[in-house]
Amino acid sequence: RHVWEDSKDKVRENRLSNEGKWIYRMRKEKVERSFADSKELHGLRYCRLRGRDNVREQALMTAACQNMKKIALHLDRVV
């Protein structure tokens, strides 16, 4: 057995439990939807500028826009 097999078994048990299955289903709706929105709605499919720093800046600006949008939607529901 590989040295990581014990850890992999624990992760596998957790993933196949009822709670793990529920969390994995929620991942599609929450996390992966966020990346899809970044690509489709916020132009993250292609980088506009070259260079690692410029790409990082574009990704951070996209994330900031998404966060502001989430905050605005949350505040609209609260009021």
Q: Who has greater pLDDT, 65 or 44?
A: 65
What pLDDT, on a 0 to 100 scale, did the predictor assign at position 34?
82
Percent residues over pLDDT 90 in the chain? 37
What pLDDT, on a 0 to 100 scale, did the predictor assign at position 78?
83
54 shares a domain with 40:
no
14 shares a domain with 38:
yes
73 shares a domain with 59:
yes
Q: How many residues does the chain have?
A: 79
Please tell me the pTM assigned to this model: 0.59
- CA end-to-end distance (rounded Å), the chain: 56
pLDDT of 2 above 90: no
Q: Is 14 in contact with 20 (CB distance < 8 Å)?
A: yes
36 shares a domain with 13:
yes
31 shares a domain with 68:
no
5-16 vs 18-41: helix crossing angle, rounded to 10: 90
63 shares a domain with 25:
no
pLDDT of 31 above 80: no
